[in-house]
Amino acid sequence: MTTESLYPRFRTKSGQLTAYSFACGYVQTAKLPNGAEVQLYHEGACFHCRAFGPDGSRIAWESATGLGNAQKLFRKLKTEAASLS
């Protein structure tokens, strides 16, 4: 038995957090060069994705069901937040 099979994986090969990670309370965060920040986290039966502007004010808060949908939303908000100045 390998040590990898003894421990759950917290990240996929692409570096994204796994469903297990979110169930354990991990938060995926992207801090952008312009000072904006996007967060993805799991709560109850859904995932929340929040975006904050360079000044720290919340600019978006959306929810998604399912990890795949939440990761798409995370990427979308990262793109939108990156265009802020």
Task: Reply yes or no on whether the pLDDT at 5 is more than 80.
Answer: no
Does residue 71 sit in helix, strand or coil? helix
Give me the residue spans of the domains in the chain. Answer: 3-82
Residue 18 · residue 2 · CB < 8 Å:
no
Q: Which fold has domain 3-82?
A: Viral Envelope Glycoprotein; domain 2 (3.30.67)
Residue 41 · residue 28 · CB < 8 Å:
yes
The two structure tokens encoding residue 56: 């720290």
Task: Reply yes or no on whether the pLDDT at 15 is more than 90.
Answer: no
Q: Nearest-CA neighbor of 80 among 16, 37, 29, 42?
A: 37
Count, in order, helices (H) and strands (E) of the chain.
3, 4
Using pLDDT thresholds of 50, 70 and 90, give the confidence band for residue 6: low
pLDDT at 24: 93
Q: What is the pLDDT of residues 32-74, one digit of tens each?
A: 999 999 999 999 999 999 999 999 999 999 999 999 999 999 9
Q: What is the DSSP letter of 7?
A: S
pLDDT at 9: 84
